[in-house]
Amino acid sequence: MVAAASVVVALGAAAGMLTALGDGDEGDDPHGTDRARPKVSATLLSPSTANPPSPSGSPSASAPTTRPTPSPGRTARAPRSAAVTTSLYRHPESQVLDWVRAHPADPRTAVIESRIASRPAAVWFTEYAPDTVTSRVRAVTAGAARQSRVPVLVAYAIPDRDCGGASEGGAPDLDAYAGWIDAFAAGLGSGEVVVVLEPDSIAQTDCLDDAGRADRLAALARAGRVLKAADPKARVYYDAGHSGWNAPAEQAALLRQAGAASAASSDGIFSNVSNFHGTADEVAYDRRVLDALGGPSGLGAVIDTSRNGNGAPAGGEWCDPDGRSIGRAPTFRTGEARIDAYLWVKLPGESDGCKGAAGEFSPSYAYELASS
């Protein structure tokens, strides 16, 4: 089983004025510039006490660990004509923002505020709460629309999530999940939005038998179709694991069964969620997966760069490993063919359970990541 790599918190009701600026393109500098920014980030607190971890941990010892090289084929892609907005949205509620506000005199605050709390980050929806998920999604997408920004939402409620590991939970069955996805989609609105659909749901299927795996992949294919039908401007990305996990051809075969090669359900793939693999490794790996996947030439990839500034630690350590650093700033302007965005899906400083309580913000860990 793949060890859980981090912990996220579920989205509660959004409160207060929603503010955002641009997506903070800083080129190759992971720390970026010190320009003025709002004191916000985007992983929101849950009204419940459950804090399910997000997976994407180190692969088992049998998984391939070789680093792929870029494939020479199918790297050119048509421009995305539907994309108008180029700036990512920052939601004003998060654990890191709460800490910054509560500790203005702490000597670590300035670094944490400027290099983590001010960045746009994904908003996770981890609770199976079909009666409220529409309004909670709408609160985020509406706030982003008012600012002409693009929010990043993580749908994370697939049944048998994390193969019963630390992130276990989600919908009770696939019929219930279909209803949850319908309700999630109803909150998207009509503007641009990035949906990271179910981290690890495809890369990590070893706990399922053949029938269970086929049913899950069919449910994910349906989910993508529902999301894109509800909002044609939604960009839906499917789980590709990361460069140290499944071989590209193996991952592509699973992705194809999940609808990731169809323009009706997919805009491409995501990788490295909550993990540490270097951006160059992920770019090369994602291109190989896309080449093996086939489908429309416009399919691309998004990469979680939130904690990969120093690459993955030796030995596949996943729980708040030492010596890591924040990675490239979130942006749609990657300068890389077929790479649509660098995103902060995992909010740096939220502990995996070793340098703080699982799922809780650790200022010492955040400062370590931000100042490395």
Span 31-69, pLDDT tens digits = 332 222 222 233 443 323 334 444 444 433 223 323 233
Q: How many CB atoms lie within 10 A of CB 268?
A: 27
Q: 341-363: per-residue pLDDT in tens?
A: 999 999 999 988 889 887 789 99
> Which uninterrupted H or E stretch holds 303?
strand 300-304
Residues with Cβ < 8 Å from 84, sequence gap 6 or more? 192
Catalytic residue among 239, 320, 340, 352, which?
Answer: 352
* Helix and strand element counts for the chain (H, E): 8, 9
Return the pLDDT at 76.
Answer: 37
pLDDT at residue 162, as a whole number: 86
Nearest to 261 by CA among 228, 297, 229, 218: 297
Q: Report pLDDT for 208.
A: 95
pLDDT digits (tens, 9 = 90+) for 110-153: 999 999 999 999 999 999 999 999 999 999 999 999 999 999 99
- Say if CB 252 and CB 313 are below 8 A apart: no
Q: Please give the DSSP secondary-structure letter assigned to residue 267.
A: S
**What digits encode the pLDDT tens for the residues 81-98?**
334 456 999 998 889 999
Tell me what pLDDT residue 166 has: 72
Q: What is the pLDDT of residues 236-262, one digit of tens each?
A: 999 999 999 999 999 999 999 999 999
- Candidate list 23, 25, 160, 200, residue with the active-site label: 200
Catalytic annotation on 304? no
What is the pLDDT at residue 31? Answer: 35
How crowded is residue 131: how many other Cβ atoms within 10 Å of its Cβ? Answer: 7
- Assign 165 a pLDDT band (cuts: 50, 70, 90): confident
Which CA distances in Å does 105 have to 26, 101, 349?
Answer: 27, 10, 19
User: Residue 41 has which token pair?
Assistant: 């980030």
* Three-class SS state of 124: strand
The one catalytic residue in 23, 25, 162, 340 is 162
Is 200 an active-site residue? Answer: yes
Task: Examine the residue annotation and report whether 162 is marked as an active-site residue of this protein.
Answer: yes
AA letter at 60: S
Backbone angles phi, psi at 23, to 5 degrees: -90, 5
User: Would you state the structure tokens that stand for residue 254, as one six-digit string?
Assistant: 């699973």
CB atoms within 10 A of CB 172: 11
Q: Is 215 left (phi over 0), alpha (psi -120 to 50) or beta?
A: alpha
